[in-house]
Amino acid sequence: MLRAAAQRLGGTIAKRRAFHTGARLQKEIEMFVDGKRVMVEEGSAIIQAAEKAGVTIPRFCYHERLGVAGNCRMCLVEIEKAPKLAASCAMPVMPGMRVITESAKIKQAREGVMEFLLANHPLDCPICDQGGECDLQDQSMRYGADRGRFGEAKRAVEDKDIGPLVRTTMTRCIQCTRCVRFINEVAGTGELGTTGRGNDMQIGTYVSRALASELSGNIIDLCPVGALTAKPHAFAARAWELTPTDSVDVMDALGSNIRVDARGAEIIRVVPRTNDAVNEEWLADKGRFACDGLKRQRLTVPLVRVDGRLEPAPWADALQLVAARLRATPPDRVRAVAGDLADAEALVALKDLLNAAGCERLGVDSPTNSEIDVRAAYTFNASVAGIEAADAVLLIGTNPRVEAPVLNARLRKPYLASTATFAVVGPACDLTYDYAHVDATAAGIDALARGQHAFAAELRAADRPLIVIGARALAEPGVAAAVARLAAAVPALVTREWNGLSVLQAAAGRTAALDIGYGSSKQDGSNRLDGSAARFVYLLGADGVAMRGEVDPEAFVVYQGHHGDAGAQAADVVLPGAAYTEKAATFVNTEGRAQRTRQAVPAPGAAREDWRIVRALSDTAGLPLAYDDIAGLRARMADVCPSLVSVGALEPTSLEIARLALDHQIKSGEEVGAGELPLAIDDYYLTDVVSRASRTMARASAAQRQQMEETAVPRNQQAI
């Protein structure tokens, strides 16, 4: 029922969002706001027209990315010749309309609304985590009175337990329903709703359970009061005590824009920044709450294995040992593996060092498609913003709900607007939107190419079809060739105006590694790196190969990273690096957009930026690199791959090159396997060294497992 209601709202929501997302409606009309002439899209609300005119109207329930509720009445305005005040969020503009946003009548009405809100609101600002960032505080300074006329006892509401991430104090709730609309419309899980009416109205889950959405933390940002706050850092700091730093999230491959708030040398919280081209203004829970993992299990000094134990050592001794073993190892026995969180600067520096040593065998920390010479073979070519234009979507071997939750919210938008249909090849899972399940194996791809499934006709008839392939599934035998055959059968998939053949990477460092020339670390399917006995293995934050037992026990292993995870446990020498919040570094997201983090806090102990460690090692090994500072390194990055330094820009692959890659895959003639396509992520909350070190993520994972056991639903069909 909730999903049907959300779909009915889809058209209205799309129109409301059009003004903010840059989409143009069919017609512009003239109207006046406080005497100022404004040309605004037909169907826009008065509050949107006022924003275009540079006039800010106070609001509590209205949010430009959510459906209209119109229940707080704080945005009342006067309309010329209208007998009553109107809610500007719910009133559409009309040609020639004249609106007044400030008058004595409006001020009196807003003061009345504020008095009603404060009548039941508790006076606990001194202990509320929302203090200093509270919309109700801000508006009460302008429209609040110095005393109230209500003598009745204040309303009290029982707090709700909705999981380990969001803390509730529901007595503060003003029933704006922003959280309800977000969970139903954007997240799509539908757990929150309202019960009761009038003074008995409450917001909560219909049954006692934790929120199952990977985007649940966004309701904290949406809440205009202190009813919903962050449970992991409750009472930890005040907003004015924090130092903000703009950065980029690396917990998934989307590269959501974030702000890191620190107090001294400690990260207190991570919140999203608005970027309509990438994450709009949302952030996945792992990117928001896993930051406490940056304080635990950190590597702070170099370590050298002595008599089977890792012992602290000076930087000079550790680097000399690594340099000696590197010089003593034949180049064809040297391997390097790039981890999920490796930044572009470190990747380029390490490649230059090993190339200078005669080594060319550089891999990544998971199987990947071997066709890495063409960028279109491993990037999200349709772009994240382009998802909204798709009218037929096929997901192959991917669960975007856990691999990139904010991207999955984008996929929900054409679903809500009823402008796209969906199908899945691979394991069935709850994606928060309806889809046709073609097959759990890659055989479904060939079935669609031959037109043996009903969705094949929809793909061929679509103006802008979109095929999203999981990077893990794309590495399976025959999948790339099968996808290429399907692409050849869908003429509109790859054109000059649209390239809908898109790969969804699962790691923040993967696209840059492939850009720079790192291939697969497991190319022949054996249990050793590249199938040969490597004698020197350099793990650049690569813990996966150690966890899977893919490192030869006889090899000399160097681990460079920031957490004492599986890679450090398997290493002979450990070199402590800096985490993404402790360095200025470049990460390339799944669509190929280069973005940069900034240093928010210093690295702990003797840890250093990764590229500086490699540069120091090059001197010790007698193979000095040609750059000594970050400017020189980035000049080298521009030579290796110009897109690495085109920060914020997208550089699409030409039609000719994209088709050349497809033709090459088709000619390979490789047949698909019979097994079920693998997914990249099993447990959303525990996927990398930061999240595995996070107590918050451990609690969230435990709550998820408990909920799954109680419902007794198979894991691949359970909302994660």
**Domains, the chain, ordered by start:** 2-102 (3.10.20.740), 147-295 (3.30.70.20), 303-368+510-645 (3.40.50.740), 380-504+652-681 (3.40.228)
The three state secondary structure string of 664-720 is HHHHHCCCCCCCECCCCCCCCCCCCHHHHCCHHHHHHHHHHHHHHHHHCCCHHHCCC
Q: Do the beta carbons of residue 456 and residue 392 sit within 8 Å? A: no
Its pTM surpasses 0.75? yes
CA distance 90 to 67: 10
Neighbouring-strand partners of residue 499: 494
pLDDT for 118 equals: 92
Report how far residue 627's alpha carbon sits from residue 633's, in angstroms, rounded to the nearest whole number: 6
Buried b (16+ CB within 10 A) or exposed e, 231-269: bbbeeebeeeebeebebbbbbbbbbbbbbbbbeeeebbb
User: What span, in angstroms and rounded, lies between the C-alpha atoms of 44 and 90?
Assistant: 9
Residue 708: its pLDDT value, please? Answer: 81
Q: Report DSSP state, residue 39.
A: E
pLDDT tens profile 130-156: 999 999 999 999 999 888 888 888 889
Q: What is the pLDDT of residue 487?
A: 93
pLDDT at 372: 60
Strand 303-306 and strand 573-576: the pairing is antiparallel
Q: Which of 506, 280, 488 is nearest to 380 (CA)?
A: 506
Residue 506's pLDDT is 93
Which residue positions in the chain have pLDDT lower than 70?
Answer: 1-26, 370-372, 520-532, 667, 669, 712-720
